[in-house]
A and B are shown apart, each in its own frame.
Chain A
Amino acid sequence: MADLSVKIAGVSFKNPLIAASGTIGFGREYREFYPLSVFGGISCKGTTLHERPGNPPPRIAETPMGMLNAVGLQNPGVQHFIEEDLPWLKQQDTVAIANVAGSTAEDYCQTVELLSETDIDMIELNISCPNVKEGGVQFGTSCDSAAAITKAVRRHCKKPLIIKLSPNVADIASIAQAVESEGADAVSLINTLTGMRIDIRTRRPIITNNTGGLSGPAVFPVAVRMVWQVKNAVQIPVIGMGGITTWQDAVEMLIAGADALQIGTALFTDPYAPVKINEGLNRYLDENGLTSVTELTHTIQPYG
């Protein structure tokens, strides 16, 4: 049995698998399948200062080896999260991460300030939601704006701060460097890639938002590339995600440069994916004579 534990920004995770924001709500529904301690951590549904209704349906479409979603940050607001969901989640023996989105820098700062006074373990700043006009991606697509929002939030944030990056940019490594220089404790990537499907009979988009975020195995190679590029560019921990479905995917993402992992869409296909990934990861480490999962991170041997 190898040691699967990792430490990200001073926080200990018993394994490197974190449930990705937006796919698991606040954890309650997946608690029916297994104890949430199956996950090293849970990144909660994107939370905003006020309740948000989300986008009109349909919000979901299947795509080749993946899916589009445009849920649009439906959430009950940060107060509700703090009062109703966080106390329960803190009893589940897993790292609790709040995912914060907003329309303005003030929104982000107020939400983070409220969360800083709770016993949440970490905060993940969502500056990459592609599905709402004012959901933060306007902050995530240039180095200047990403640096500015990180700097503003950092002043209000007493918790370890992860910045979740958008892949819908020309140079994700520069954005990672920009948020690192303003005090981010870690980066997580990738959020979904903006995509679209059209019904050829009606000529209407399948999703009412017209566009949605692409996730699932289809985006995995893009995610591996971006995690590798970012790991080469920053010193802070990198949390890799995007289409991880099997334990082999998890190993590959770690080798590319991830210090921890998030899985999301794979849960919809197989709720037991995290259990199987942890088992496979453990076996791989044993078979390769590695005593800790951390020995795998960024061991890629790229061509010159």
Chain B
Amino acid sequence: MKYDAQDCELVAKAQLTATIYDFRLKNPALAAITRPGQFVQVLVPSKTLRRPISVCDVEGDVLRLVFEVRGEGTALLAQTKVGEIINLIAPLGHGFTLEPDKKTIFVGGGIGVPPLLYSAKQCGQNAIVINGFRQRSAVILEDDFRQAVGQLILTTDDGSYGLPGFVTQPLEELLPQADRICACGPMPMLKNIAKLAQQYHVPCEVSLEQRMACGIGACLGCAVAVKEADGRVIYRHVCKDGPVFDSQCVAWDGEKPQPVTSNTPDKKPNEKEGQ
């Protein structure tokens, strides 16, 4: 089985900040096949679209999801009570390329922090984690990361906890000793990380998000512009081709695919004719 719709029991629930919730969902079969960096599509009663949420961790038979209340759907989800059933389509997408014996830097920003935990755990003492937040009250999962990885660095934009400023400052200092970077967070942060990675020639992967419908690659809703090896820009899809992408392939500067406008079916796709 690659993925399926399956019921899970909410076995534990915690609130980590004013807007962030921590759900533990029991489903042994699903927990057994879920890989680090994958995501699930959560059914929210009365909503048409499921909500894509990254897997934060797998603990035995239990899947851990840490999500932020952003709108009506996630607000409804947050009201689920312990003992109730939640339906997931899972596991979905593919995660980071992990080489546990290599020095790997994980960089998370805000709600981009939880999707890194399960991956960072795989690298254990070889994982250096840099997690950035707006301010002290937004800091999450500090103990979880500290117990699981070699080094944890926290930053806050306002300097109220950890190092003041953005994640890119400590990242740049550590990059010379890094073999690989895995990052998840806001797009401007990821773009800056991708730039640094290119500068220091360190392989870097980023986990992206996009508004999604089917979650499995059928509807083509969750498009992301990526550069192919030949330089051509095309739309790939976060659900099926991601959520993790090579940072050097992402079209960070808003490049868009060129429409094909030729009149015969034989023309090569990148051969343009008048518009």
Contact = CB atoms under 8 A, between A and B. Distances in A.
Q: Do A and B bind each other?
A: yes
Interface of A: 22-25, 28-30, 32-33, 45, 49-63, 65-67, 69, 71, 74, 77-79, 106, 110, 114, 206, 216-217, 265, 267-272
Contacts of B4: 32-33
Given A25-B219, A268-B49, A269-B48, A58 B210 contact: yes
Contacts of B265: 49-50, 77-79, 110, 114
Interface in B16-69: 43, 47-50
Contacts of A53: 234-235, 256-260
B218 A29 contact: yes
Given A45-B220, A271-B89, 16 more contacts: A23-B214, A25-B219, A30-B216, A53-B259, A54-B223, A54-B235, A56-B256, A58-B211, A59-B222, A62-B71, A63-B48, A69-B219, A267-B214, A268-B48, A268-B214, A268-B215
B5 A74 contact: no
Contact of B210 (A57, A78, A270, A271): A57
Contact of B217 (A25, A63, A216): A25
A268 B42 CA distance: 11
A74 B48 contact: no
Interface residues of B, number: 44
Contact of A217 (B48, B49, B72, B210): B48
Contacts of A206: 211
In the complex, which of the residues B49, B210, B257, B263 has the most CB atoms of chain A within 10 Å of its own CB atom? Answer: B49
Given A25-B219, A62-B49, A268-B50, A56 B225 contact: yes
B259 A61 contact: no
- For the residues of B in contact with A, the DSSP-based class is loop
A54 B220 contact: yes
Contacts of A60: 49, 211-213, 221-222
Contacts of A54: 220, 223, 235, 257
Nearest to B219: A23
Given A29-B214, A269-B48, A57 B269 contact: no
Nearest to A106: B263
B190 interface: no
B47 A74 contact: no
A265 B50 CA distance: 11
B259 to A, nearest CB: 6
Contacts of B225: 56-57
In the complex, which of the residues B49, B221, B235 has the most CB atoms of chain A within 10 Å of its own CB atom? Answer: B221
